Amino acid sequence: MNRALMLVLLAVLAIAAPFYVYPILLMTVLSYVVFASSFNLLLGYAGLLCFGHAMFFGTAAYFAGWLLKNTALSIELCFLLSALSMAALGWVVGLIAARRGGIQFAMITLAISQFIYFLLLRAPFTGGEDGLQRIPRSALFGMFDVSSNLALYYVILAFSVLAILVFYRVVHSPFGEVLKAIRDNEARVESLGFIPERFKVLALTLSAGLAGLAGAMKAAAYQIATLHDVSFHISGTIIFMTLLGGLGTLTGPMVGAAMIVLLNDYLAQYGEWALIIQGAVFLVVILFFRKGVVGEIEARLKKPGRV
C-alpha cells in the first residue's frame, strides 16, 4: 500500500518535473539512474566490479550519435540498437573477463575500456578530441517530433522506466537468484552443478545493454558525444554513485546517481569551491551513512529484534 503510494507520487513528480526544472538536467539524471542500475546489477547482484563500465555508456553515446546523424532511423530504434550493440560488446567482454573474479575482473575490464577509449580516439567517425557535435533528435516512431527538450524528456522518461523494470525483473528472476548466490559464494554455486561463468557472462550482457541505453539517452539529450563519456572518470563516477546510494540495495544506486548529478549541477555556480563542498558532503555521507544513503535508511527502518 505504502509502496504503491510512493510510486504514484514518484510518477506525478516525474511527469511534472520538467515544468519546474531544466529538462536537460532531468534527462541527465535519468541517464545516470539507468547507468547506475546497470552497474548495480553487476556489483550489487553478481559481485562483479567492472572498472571500465564507461566503455558501454560512452561507446553507446557515439553509436547513437552516429546513427542519429547518419541514418534516418527513428529515435527509439537508435536507442534500442545502441542497447543491443552494447549487450553484444558486454557479451564479448564477458567471454574474456568472466573466468576471473575480484580484482582481476576489475583490471581486465579496465584494460578493455582503455583499449576502446583509444580506438574511439583514433576512429575516423568520432570527431577525435571534439567528439560528435550537434547530434539531431529524430522523430519518435518516425512520426512524432521530439526535438524539443520537453518532448524528448518524456521519451527518455519512458525508456528509463522500461530499463528500471528490466533491471527489477532480472534481479527478481530465477536467474537473479542464482546470480546472488554466485555473489555470495561462487565456489559453492559451482559445487551445486552450475557453471558460474555462464551466469556472469549473461549478467554482463544485460548490464552492458542497460548501460548502452543510458549512454544513447545521454547523447540524445546533450546532442554531443565525447571521449569524456568513455573515460575512466565516468567509470569512477558510477562506482561512487553506487556506493553513495547504497551497494546491494535495489534503489540506492539510482538515488546516488540522482544526488550526484543534481549536486554537481547545483555546485557548478560556486566555481572552484564546488570541489571542496562536494568533498565535505561526501565526507558526511561516508561518516554517517556507512551503508550508503538508502542502505542506512533501510537498516534503520528494519524493526530491531527481527530475526
Cell 560528435 identifies what position?
132
Side-chain half-sphere CA neighbours of 70 within 13 A: 10
Query: Contact letters (x/-) for another protein, 106-145, by CB under 8 A?
Result: ----------------------------------------
Look at residues 65, 41, 91, 58 and name the one whose alpha carbon lies nearest to residue 233. 58
Question: φ, ψ for residue 140 (rounded to 5)?
Answer: -75, 130
Output the furthest CA–CA distance in the chain (Å, rounded).
62
Q: Does residue 172 bind another protein (CB under 8 A)?
A: yes
Binding another protein by CB under 8 A: which of 124, 193, 271, 304?
A: 193
Q: How far is the CB of 212 from another protein (least distance, A)?
A: 17
Q: Does residue 175 bind another protein (CB under 8 A)?
A: yes
Number of amino acids touching another protein (CB under 8 A): 29
Helix, strand or coil, per DSSP, at residue 132 = strand
Query: Contact letters (x/-) for another protein, 151-170, by CB under 8 A?
Result: ------------------xx
Q: Does residue 192 bind another protein (CB under 8 A)?
A: yes
Distance, in Å, from the CA atom of 298 to the CA atom of 54, rounded to the nearest integer, reads 29
Specify the residue, 175 or 282, whose C-beta has the smaller distance to another protein: 175
C-alpha cell at 128: 577525435
Binding another protein by CB under 8 A: which of 16, 142, 188, 275?
A: 188
Name 225's bridge partners.
132
Specify the residue, 18 or 47, whose C-beta has the smaller distance to another protein: 47
Q: Does residue 290 bind another protein (CB under 8 A)?
A: no
298 exposure class (CB count in 10 Å sphere: 0-12, 13-18, 19+):
middle
Residues that bind another protein (CB under 8 A): 169-170, 172-178, 180-181, 183-185, 187-195, 198-199, 202, 206, 248, 307
